[in-house]
Every structure is written in structure tokens, then in C-alpha cells.
């Protein structure tokens, strides 16, 4: 199951900053946000999804490209497989980009709920696989 969603932007004064997070009770992930944003920057700033695993966090994220310059990151449970989330996140973000939806706090709960359904389905599939 996803643990939360971050919206990371760029500030000229501070560099990568967390602009919003969902749920609100997530801890301070400023250092992780810098690592996530920098991982996308190292990829020539091309838009798209990527998976990042660090000791403190496992993340699937999507960079919107230079024009919007936002990263939407989904924090995953350590046991989660990233593939289904990457595909779903890419689809959701591309839909938002195509429809011109602003990237701000209001989209985070929607993204979280869509990806939460994938987590529940993945958990059910994993349980079935363990039976065999």
C-alpha cells in the first residue's frame, strides 16, 4: 500500500522543496525530497516515471518536465513491488497534464486513492500466489 504522496517543486532560494504532502501527518521528508528531485535532474530533466530505493524510503515518482517542473512521488511500503505503481502513476499524471490540471495539494488525495486501489489489488494477488 502507498504510504503517502509528495508534491516536490523547485525554489530558486532553497532548491527542491516539498510543496504539499498527503496525508498531512507524514514526517519531514525534506532530505528525501532533495534526493528524489536530484535523481530526476540527473536523468537530463526528461519527464517520466522512475523508481528510487534508499535506506529511509522506497519511492515511485514522476517528473513533469521543465515547463511545470514538479515531481509527484508516491512513498511505498518496503515490501511493495514498484512496477504496478509506476505504470499507474504515469497514467494518472499524463491524464492531468493532458487536461491542464494544476499540480497542487488538491490532486494528492486523488492520486493516493487511485494508487491505494492498486495496492489492495496487489496484496490480494500476492496472497493468492502464496497459496500455490
Higher pLDDT, 78 or 7: 7
pLDDT in tens, 93-123: 988 888 888 888 888 999 999 888 886 666 5
**pLDDT tier, 9 (very low <50, low <70, confident <90, very high otherwise):** very high
Q: What is the mean pLDDT of the chain?
A: 85
d(CA 83, CA 85): 5
Q: Structurally, how many domains does the chain consist of? A: 1
In this prediction, residue 129 carries a pLDDT of 47
Q: What is the pLDDT of residue 43?
A: 67
Provide the CATH number for the domain around residue 79.
3.30.450
pTM (2 d.p.): 0.85
Mean pLDDT computed over 50-63:
88
For residue 128, what pLDDT is reported? 46
Q: Buried (b) or exposed (e) across 84-102, using 16+ Cβ within 10 A?
A: bbbebbbebbeebbeeeee
Question: What domain range is 86 assigned to?
Answer: 2-131
Which residue has better confidence, 42 or 28? 28
Mean pLDDT computed over 77-96: 87
pLDDT of the residue at 124: 47
Residue 52's φ and ψ, nearest 5 degrees, are: -135, 130
Amino acid at each position: 500500500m502507498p504510504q503517502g504522496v509528495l508534491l516536490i517543486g523547485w525554489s530558486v532560494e532553497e532548491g527542491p522543496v516539498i510543496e504539499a504532502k498527503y496525508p498531512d501527518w507524514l514526517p519531514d521528508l525534506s532530505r528525501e525530497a532533495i534526493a528524489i528531485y536530484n535523481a530526476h535532474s540527473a536523468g537530463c530533466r526528461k519527464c517520466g516515471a522512475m523508481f528510487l530505493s534508499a535506506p529511509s524510503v522506497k519511492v515511485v515518482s514522476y517528473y513533469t518536465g521543465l515547463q511545470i517542473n514538479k515531481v509527484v512521488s508516491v512513498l511505498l511500503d518496503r515490501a511493495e513491488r514498484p512496477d504496478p505503481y509506476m505504470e499507474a502513476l504515469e497514467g494518472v499524471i499524463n491524464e492531468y497534464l493532458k487536461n491542464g490540471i494544476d499540480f497542487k495539494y488538491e490532486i494528492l488525495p486523488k492520486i493516493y486513492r487511485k494508487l491505494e486501489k492498486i495496492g489492495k489489488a496487489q496484496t490480494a494477488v500476492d496472497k493468492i500466489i502464496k497459496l500455490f
